[in-house]
């Protein structure tokens, strides 16, 4: 039985599906939800059997935003602490050695859009809606929205979405590069599972190293990021997975990676 009160984790071989279960609040991110999601990331990071994780929402929403009822009466210091909790969750997802896929089945607004952007991929249902409507509440995105959105869709489009608070369709999210794929609602999880299977078939240490190089390289000079890549490339030659992968290739068989 799960120790979590606001989410569930279902393991399907190398895939873990994390489902936020606050349907009555459209899966809004409360302090408890964020703490439990951050703990779930750590739990799955420590599980060698899991290679890919999916986060999605129960019911008709992915995450409709941060919990306004909880935020309404916060003072400045409390509000900053609340934002920092969201920041820790985003940082945990980006630093995770696992690949995280956001399966956006409905509303991904405010904190929900920010949660999705902290994942490695965003796959969306045709019914999904995205947006950063915080300015309509007199605040700004606090969980990375102003920064990750600009990195995903460009500065001008990020400014437009953050200062208008407009919602956009899944098709528009795909067009501007916010979503990576849009599929029929009934095809969302099957499509994500297929992607997860292709990722899980690869060397997990190599997948983690590729993710790490790309993420860390964004804040480095080109020379620094290339040096990082070269170090990571060399380090993988000390692993059993490298020996298995290249031996399997030369032997014309499928590699059996162990993550060691």
Which residues are the active-site residues?
Answer: 114, 134
Task: Kindly calculate the radius of gyration of the chain based on its CA atoms and give it in whole angstroms.
Answer: 19
């Amino acid at each position: 039985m799960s120790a979590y009160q606001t989410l569930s984790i279902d393991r399907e071989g190398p895939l873990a599906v994390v489902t936020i279960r606050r349907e009555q609040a459209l899966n809004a991110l409360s302090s408890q939800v964020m703490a439990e999601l951050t703990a779930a990331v750590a739990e799955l990071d420590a599980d060698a059997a899991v290679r890919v994780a999916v986060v999605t929402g129960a019911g008709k929403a992915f995450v409709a935003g941060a919990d306004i009822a909880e935020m309404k009466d916060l003072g400045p210091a409390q509000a900053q602490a609340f934002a920092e909790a969201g920041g820790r969750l985003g940082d945990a997802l980006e630093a995770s050695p696992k690949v995280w896929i956001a399966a956006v089945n409905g509303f991904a607004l405010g904190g929900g859009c920010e949660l999705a952007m902290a994942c490695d991929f965003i796959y969306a249902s045709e019914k999904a809606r995205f947006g950063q409507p915080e300015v309509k509440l007199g605040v700004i995105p606090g969980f990375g929205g102003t920064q990750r959105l600009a990195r995903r869709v460009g500065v001008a489009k990020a400014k437009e979405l953050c200062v208008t608070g407009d919602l956009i369709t899944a098709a528009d999210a795909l067009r501007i590069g916010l979503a990576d794929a849009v599929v029929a609602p009934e095809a969302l999880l099957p499509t994500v599972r297929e992607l997860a299977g292709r990722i899980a078939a690869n060397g997990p240490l190599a997948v983690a190293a590729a993710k790490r190089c790309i993420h860390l390289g964004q804040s480095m000079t080109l020379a620094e990021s290339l040096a990082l890549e070269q170090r990571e490339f060399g380090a993988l030659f000390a692993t059993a997975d490298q020996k298995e992968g290249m031996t399997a290739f030369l032997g014309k068989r499928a590699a059996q990676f162990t993550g060691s």
